[in-house]
Each structure stands twice: as structure tokens, then as C-alpha cells.
């Protein structure tokens, strides 16, 4: 097979990510119950605040902490208690130091692909935070390059394509997010492999759109070996 280029997403494609945030949100929701707020309402306020904060401050655990704090301030008002601020700070720190949980079949599949193709890790977030996760994952050696961008939009795809002299027709973006991986890749003329994750962050959901490239849907990462 002809050598192709793969841009590969990291969070919830190579390793678990959103599940750790979801656990913390579940606990946060339970802590808001004594104030008289139900789960749906707390999540709606948090989503609203996160959507604004990610636009302004980017993605990552720092923004998550800020969003929990703002949500708590909004919900508790005068009733805010210092132990809740401490809980939010400690919980965010805990997520930051959680060791990566690599998804099943990922290392073998990366080893397989790296022998045949060019692999570039393409992730969004805060450079220090994502860089540390990549370092601890032990997967970095499979990649020719690592790109950490603030947002995965068509412009950031185009910059990465130019920097690495990628031929779009023979390149694929692989990831779990319709909003960040599939749609902007197809829009900029790349092909895309969509591997849904059962716990994808709500803010990553979007209708799949079509573009110039081809779209392949796989149920697990290791299935890449059947196609490439
Ligand atoms: Mg992802």
C-alpha cells in the first residue's frame, strides 16, 4: 500500500480523557443537590459556562476548574462555602495528575501503522498539559511529529498540512470528535476516520457534514489495521 499520512487525535482516541471529567462533574452535581438544584439544570449552566470559557481560555483542566468555580458561584451565591472551593481545586488537580489510561489495542496498532505510514499526533489544548500527557503515555515514539493547537478548525488543519507538506488526498485525520476531528478535516480536503467514543464530551458533538475527502467509520482503534 502507498505510504499515507495520518493525523491522529489523542484524548478519547488514544487514551481515556472525558471519563475523568465526567466523574468529577457527577460528584459536583451531587454536591449541588443540597442547594436545591437538579442534575439537568447544573449541567446546563456548566455547559454554558464551559462553552464561553473554552473560547476565551482554551481547552484543558485549568479551564474546567474555572468553569466549575463560576458555576458554583452562580448556583450558591451568598451561600458559597470555602470547603467547596477547596474541593474544586483539589479535584481539578487530581484530574491533572491522573495517569493516562491507554485505550485497548492502541500501542499495537500505532506500531503497525508507523511501519507503513507517517503518523502525526494532532491534539488541541494547553501545550504544557497535553505535552505532559503525551510524555507519560509512552506513545510519542510512534509519531514523526506532535502538533498541539488551541483549536482544531479548518485554519489549523491547513497550517499543519502546509508545515508537514501533507498531500491531502493521501492523508487521514483519525479521531472521536465530529466537531474537532471529522468535520474540519473533511472541510479542508483531508480524509477522515471517525472512531466514536461512548463518553465523548458534549461540547464535541456535531452533525457529521461532508466535504471533499472520504469518511470511514470504525468502532475501535485497532480496526485501522484492517484498512491501512
Ligand atoms: Mg478526542
Q: Do 78 and 177 fall within a single domain?
A: no
Domain boundary among 64, 96, 128: 96
Q: Please enumerate in sequence order all residues whose Cβ is within 8 A of that of 175, keeping only pairs 6 or more positions apart, or say none.
A: 8, 9, 13, 181, 182, 192, 193, 194, 195
Burial grade of 153 (CB within 10 A; 0-12, 13-18, 19 or more): middle
Give me ligand 1 centre to Cα 179, in Å.
10
State pLDDT tens for residues 137-185.
Answer: 999 999 999 999 999 999 999 999 999 999 999 999 999 999 999 999 9
Split into its structural domains, the chain has a count of 2
State pLDDT tens for residues 88-136.
Answer: 999 999 999 998 899 999 999 999 999 999 999 999 999 999 999 999 9
Bridge partners of 8, per DSSP, are 121, 174
Give me ligand 1 centre to Cα 36, in Å.
34
Q: Do 138 and 81 fall within a single domain?
A: no
Indicate whether this model's pTM tops 0.85: yes
Q: Do 25 and 113 fall within a single domain?
A: no
Q: Do 135 and 214 fall within a single domain?
A: yes
Give me ligand 1 centre to Cα 153, in Å.
14
**170 CB neighbour count, 10 Å cutoff:** 14
Q: Please enumerate in sequence order all residues whose Cβ is within 8 A of that of 227, keeping only pairs 6 or more positions apart, or say none.
A: 193, 216, 218
Q: Please enumerate in sequence order all residues whose Cβ is within 8 A of that of 77, keeping only pairs 6 or more positions apart, or say none.
A: none
Give me ligand 1 centre to Cα 180, in Å.
8
Range(s) of the domain holding residue 113: 5-16+102-227
CA distance 29 to 65: 14
Domain boundary among 96, 123, 145: 96
Amino acid at each position: 500500500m502507498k505510504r499515507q499520512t495520518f493525523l491522529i487525535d489523542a484524548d478519547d482516541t488514544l487514551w481515556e480523557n472525558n471519563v475523568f471529567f465526567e466523574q468529577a462533574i457527577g460528584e459536583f452535581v451531587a454536591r449541588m443537590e443540597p442547594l436545591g438544584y437538579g442534575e439537568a439544570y447544573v449541567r446546563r449552566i456548566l455547559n454554558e459556562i464551559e462553552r464561553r470559557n473554552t473560547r476565551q481560555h482554551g481547552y484543558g483542566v485549568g479551564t474546567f476548574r474555572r468553569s466549575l468555580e463560576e458555576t458554583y458561584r452562580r448556583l450558591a451565591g451568598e451561600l458559597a462555602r470555602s470547603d467547596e472551593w477547596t474541593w474544586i481545586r483539589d479535584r481539578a488537580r487530581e484530574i491533572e495528575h491522573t495517569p493516562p489510561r491507554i485505550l485497548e489495542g492502541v500501542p499495537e496498532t500505532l506500531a503497525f501503522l508507523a511501519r507503513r505510514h507517517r503518523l502525526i499526533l494532532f491534539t488541541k489544548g494547553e501545550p504544557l498539559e497535553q505535552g505532559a500527557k503525551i510524555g507519560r503515555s509512552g506513545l510519542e515514539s510512534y509519531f514523526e511529529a506532535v502538533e498541539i493547537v488551541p483549536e482544531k478548525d479548518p485554519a489549523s488543519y491547513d497550517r499543519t498540512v502546509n508545515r508537514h507538506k501533507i498531500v491531502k488526498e493521501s492523508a487521514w485525520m483519525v479521531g472521536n470528535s465530529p466537531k474537532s476531528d471529522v468535520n474540519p478535516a473533511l472541510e479542508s480536503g483531508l480524509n477522515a476516520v471517525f472512531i466514536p467514543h461512548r463518553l465523548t464530551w458534549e461540547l464535541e458533538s456535531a452533525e457529521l457534514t461532508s466535504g471533499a475527502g472520504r469518511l470511514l467509520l470504525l468502532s475501535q482503534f485497532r480496526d485501522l489495521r484492517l484498512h491501512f
